[in-house]
Structure 1
Amino acid sequence: MNEHVGSGAESDQTSADSHRESDAQLRGVIDEYMSAFQPEPEDAAGVRERILQLVRDDLYRGPSTNLATEQGHPFSISTASVRSIVRSAVDSVDGIRARSVDVEPAGDPEGSAAAVSLTVAMRAGISFTSTAEAIRGSVSAAVLAELGIPAARIDINAEDVYVD
């Protein structure tokens, strides 16, 4: 049995050290770029901090899925949020439990639709064919309502069966 249990303070310190190290590396890259680019001083004011803030915000949010509005305007949303939307839609279908979910940008322009791949566990005794159509309908409606884009493709793989 592991006798060492880390405290929250140790975890916070490790995270702070990691951020300082990332900031130092980013500052080095920015300084190298700025020395080669040599912008006017008034153009460079605050550039380093703005770049670092953008990177920090991105790291804080986590992985993102890049999509586009109907008009082609790009936006990004956390991948965890997209997966949560799809999982909720799948779980709303009687006798189905969402397992893995993957959503990729699709359509033209890229990201104006979503390609959804998911695995599910099914309750024993239900028909896959009719249930798969119910899953597709639920996921399609949720993606359109929550993300504002259609689901171009919804692939479903039943990987497990359960008994209540």
Structure 2
Amino acid sequence: MIYEKLEIPDVVLLTPKVFGDERGFFMETFRQSEFERHCGNYTFVQDNHSLSTHGILRGLHYQHDKPQGKLVRVTRGEVFDVAVDLRQSSPTFGQWVGVTLSAENRQLLWLPPGFAHAFYVTSQEAEFQYKCTDYYNPGDEHCIRWDDPTLAIEWPMMEKNEPLVSEKDQAGKTFKESLKFS
């Protein structure tokens, strides 16, 4: 596995070594000891799997009282995945980073606790899987609008239409209004 720190150094892109032949392929997607060495000492307690169609945008989501670190990947299709630093003590506070994750590139993205997360589906469909460092807590979920002018995220929209978002996500707060981390 290759671990690459991105523009926000606590966000890490993981590229697995893939071994393949005419029968198919094999790759290791997670090894606790290597993950700890490159990303920190975290334990995952919950795995999630979602399916979304083209043009769907989910996020920017986070939990404040019980923040979740997330190790995310796409097993079918392609998404543009975004992490926003909400840690006020961080030198990258208020900055975002985005990468394309796909079944083809097989990359994973690590977002530590203290980040908002979103993804936009650029393929016909995308299956998105992620490991979390804390349990989902519906009473603690927060959302920042995907089109927040302060963040000015450069989404790779394929059409001139706005993405499809849930009513809950459409009602998200602005970055300025949202809860932040110390």
TM-score of the two chains, using structure 2 as the length reference:
0.24
Q: Larger relative contact order (C-alpha < 8 A, sep ≥ 6)?
A: 2
TM-score of the two chains, using structure 1 as the length reference:
0.26
